[in-house]
Amino acid sequence: MIQCRQVETSQAPISIVIPTLNEAGYLPKLLSSIKGQTFQRYEVIVADGGSEDDTAQLALDWGAKVVTDKRAGPGAGRNEGTRAASADLLFYLDGDVELPPDFFEKALAEIRGRGLVCATWGTLASDGTRTQRMLFRLLIPIQRLAIRLGMPVAGGFAIFVTRPVFDQIGGFDEKVFQAEDHDFVKAASTLGKFGYLNSVGGSVSARRWTKEGNMRLAAKYIYSIVYRAMVGKVQKKIFEYEFGHYGDDEPPK
């Protein structure tokens, strides 16, 4: 294991990086949940991929720093947002995430106590059908088991990493078509301790499952897992997978 510079996490400031594309319907809920945190030493960077709605202006109105990145995929947005970030502790969220008020306070305490350089946490569905909400609950123990068995996995909407580890990896692989988030935490786990946070959780929209259909999307994810296990990184378009095409979708009231 390569040793990276340790970063003090108890009261250190954090940078929250959010890649966006047409997130005006959801982003205010996330930014509101961040503003209400018990831990207030943070900055928010919204890396916008050229939204056609009011995403960028809404982010500015909430006090976020906005950078523009029109390259394809959220990985490029996370990289661009990180370049604009000033803290050594990085949290990656998506625009449709919501957090409980004590999320960062508890997360930082656990990260410090366990000596983690990269982490993820459980995320439930904030909307969707009963089946979709049950599916999200089922995925949590599956993810825990995979991590326990030495297979780091994490969605891009729920990743913590220290900057030294991010820099040594070189950020998210922008050449990867899909699952760049899983590839990132896999690489991070070779540089220090990766873990699943037990003290915190969040929620995220099930909109992709609703738009594509449960069976169809599940099949794509299974195919991606098999492809990565047998071939390696998904560096070509193996199926249709849209990013940020939710501008016409109304979030649930």
Q: What is the mean pLDDT of each run of 10 residues along the chain (253 residues)?
A: 52 91 96 97 96 95 92 87 96 98 98 97 96 94 92 95 97 87 95 97 95 87 79 73 56 46
Residue 247 has what pLDDT? 45
Residue 243 lies in a domain: no
Domain that holds residue 45: 14-230
C-alpha torsion angle, residues 123, 76, 33, 241 (rounded to 10): -50
Residue 8 has what pLDDT? 59
Residue 251 lies in a domain: no
Residue 247 lies in a domain: no
Residue 5 has what pLDDT? 52
- Count structural domains, the chain: 1
Question: Three-class SS of residue 90?
Answer: strand
**φ and ψ at residue 115, rounded to 5 degrees:** 65, 40
Residue 246 lies in a domain: no
Tell me the residue type at 190: T
Which CATH number fits the domain that encloses residue 24?
Answer: 3.90.550.10
Residue 191 lies in a domain: yes
158-187 per-residue burial string, b: 16 or more CB within 10 A, e: under 16? bbbbbbbbbebbebbbbebbbbbbbbbbbb
Question: Three-class SS of residue 103?
Answer: helix
Residue 243 has what pLDDT? 66
Residue 37 lies in a domain: yes
Residue 218 has what pLDDT? 84
Look up tokens 């220090």; give the residue: 192
Residue 80 lies in a domain: yes
Residue 253 lies in a domain: no
Residue 232 has what pLDDT? 77
